[in-house]
Structure 1
Amino acid sequence: MVESEKTKHTCLRLEISGADPIFVKGTWHNSHFDISVTDGSSSWICNATEEEVAERAAQWDQPVSEYLELAERYLGFQQPNSVYGFSDALEGSKRLSWTFEKEGTKLEWRWKCKPSHDSKKITVGILDFLLEANIRLSEEVVNKTRSFEKMKCEAERCLAQGEKLCEEKTEFENATYAKFLSVLNAKKAKLRALRDKGDSVRAVEEEESTDKTESFDSGRSDNEQSEEEASKKASSSKARGRKRAVRS
């Protein structure tokens, strides 16, 4: 489907049960539409005027815009649940029809297509439209493919960069952890040295304290011994004095 500012163009390869496929080209305006149909050898046209479209829309209790939108939907894309027909009518005309459901009721729309006075022109016009549409679609596919390849390359580059950053992050973490362990072990060694030094100092202090206590006890024993000897001497002198007094 190709869309311009005021009109829309559609071209449908319509599969009809029991008949060869036909091509239906539609030009959709705000209040009317034109249809060209070809089977490859003959062609037909339907120029629905504003009055005809308004009358049909009124018959179905629909606004003109809604009627045109529904017709464009069924003649722009073949709807799988719709039954299409392209039957003979009077004077070489054809009747293009399709069915749809509304509120649970199956309905049918029909439009009469008159034989074209220049079948070759109609057929060539439809083929040109299909060719242009195919070229545009091909260009769009090429552009989208290029965009996809570009996005793919960019994604691969980002993935490689992400993996590199992940490796650098891992290396940085390992190096940081190694430095941390080195500092931690040095701190532990220093703390152990300080602890050992503290234990040595406490041991020396305890040893010195023990020596002082023993010296004090030894000095005290000597004094007590001297006092005992002096006391014994005094007692002996007193005893001798008493003996002398008795003898006198």
Structure 2
Amino acid sequence: MESETEARHSCLKLELTQDSSNQTIFVKGTWFPSRFSLSITDGYDSWLCTASEEDVRERASQWDQSVSEYIEFAERYLGFQQPGSVYRFTDAGNGHRRLSWTFEKEGIKLEWRWRCTPSPNNKNTTAAILDFLMDANIRLSEEVVKKTESFEQLKEEAHKCLVQSEKLSTEKDEFESEVYAKFVNVLNSKKAKLRELRDRLSKQEARGKLPEEEDVSGDETEQSKSETDDGSEETTD
């Protein structure tokens, strides 16, 4: 026997249009691997549908489906109202109702039907559906609150990261500017020293050439004088 822990639950607010009138019913489904049950209410009366393992197996065989495929298909159409599908909840006599929905398979429109019996206790069945909806709404509200809080935390963290990123970017720019300024100062200092050294070398070279030229001129004068003296002596004789 399948345990309740294996069950999945759904509740569909089904909008019906039939006999030129609008009707809203709530269909609560309890889904097991090989069977399911439905609780239905229109707010005043309620109905039950119990699909046993044998019922599901027989229906699945008629449609050439496995039991799991049949359950999955029924849960899809009774868990969410499917666009294009025509849902009906019609009188089947003696207070019974017939729940049906259409679908297409290989281009052919088909219809599934399940007979629903009047609930022995309308109040309890309707209350159970409303309790399920309230519990589901509370769970969704709590989840929304948690998601919102999580989003706000992420938003705050993102803002902190952005501020930190901007701070690091500013510090990086300041550091690069400072390093560049120091580099320019060092480079200018090196250039100044090179110019000073070049000037000093130029001056030393200039000072080194002038004495040499003076010595050479002096030697040439002395040599000329000596030759003149020698020549004068020779002429006198």
TM-score by length of 2: 0.89
Indicate the residue corresponding to 1:143 in structure 2. Answer: 146
Paired with 2:196 and 2:232, the residues of 1 have a C-alpha distance of 55
1:157 aligned to 2:160?
Answer: yes
Q: CA deviation at 1:216?
A: 3.7
- Cα pair distance change 1:94/1:185, threshold 3 Å: same
Equivalent residue of 1:16, what SS? strand
Residue correspondence of structure 1 range 92-241 to structure 2 within 5 A: 92-229=95-232, 232-233=234-235
Q: CA deviation at 1:142?
A: 1.1
After superposing the two structures, state which structure 1 stretch, 150-159 or 19-28, moved more.
150-159
Q: Which amino acid aligns with 1:169?
A: K
Q: CA deviation at 1:112?
A: 1.3
Equivalent residue of 2:149, what SS? helix
Among all aligned residue pairs of Structure 1 and Structure 2, give the percentage whose two residues are the same amino acid: 55
Paired with 1:213 and 1:83, the residues of 2 have a C-alpha distance of 127
Paired with 1:111 and 1:20, the residues of 2 have a C-alpha distance of 18
- Cα pair distance change 1:158/1:189, threshold 3 Å: same
Structure 1: state its 5+ residue gaps.
Answer: 238-248
After superposing the two structures, state which structure 1 stretch, 221-230 or 142-151, moved more.
221-230
Q: Which amino acid aligns with 1:106?
A: K
Indicate the residue corresponding to 1:6 in structure 2. Answer: 6
Equivalent residue of 1:61, what SS? coil
Q: Any runs of at least 4 consecutive aligned residues in structure 1 with deviations exceeding 6 A, and if so which?
A: none
Paired with 1:216 and 1:74, the residues of 2 have a C-alpha distance of 127
Paired with 1:208 and 1:152, the residues of 2 have a C-alpha distance of 84
Select the structure of larger CA radius of gyration: 1
TM-score by length of 1: 0.85
Paired with 1:229 and 1:65, the residues of 2 have a C-alpha distance of 146
CA RMSD of aligned residues (A): 1.9
Structure 2: state its 5+ residue gaps.
Answer: none
Indicate the residue corresponding to 1:55 in structure 2. Answer: 58
Alignment equivalent of 2:39, drawn from 36, 41, 50: 36
Structure with the bigger percentage of strand? 2
Q: Deviations over 1:136-171 (max 9, x none)?
A: 111111111111122222222222222222222222
Equivalent residue of 1:73, what SS? helix
Q: Deviations over 1:33-60 (max 9, x none)?
A: 0011110001111100111111111111
Equivalent residue of 1:19, what SS? strand
Paired with 2:228 and 2:60, the residues of 1 have a C-alpha distance of 144
How many residue pairs were aligned?
231
- Cα pair distance change 1:213/1:83, threshold 3 Å: farther
Paired with 2:232 and 2:68, the residues of 1 have a C-alpha distance of 143
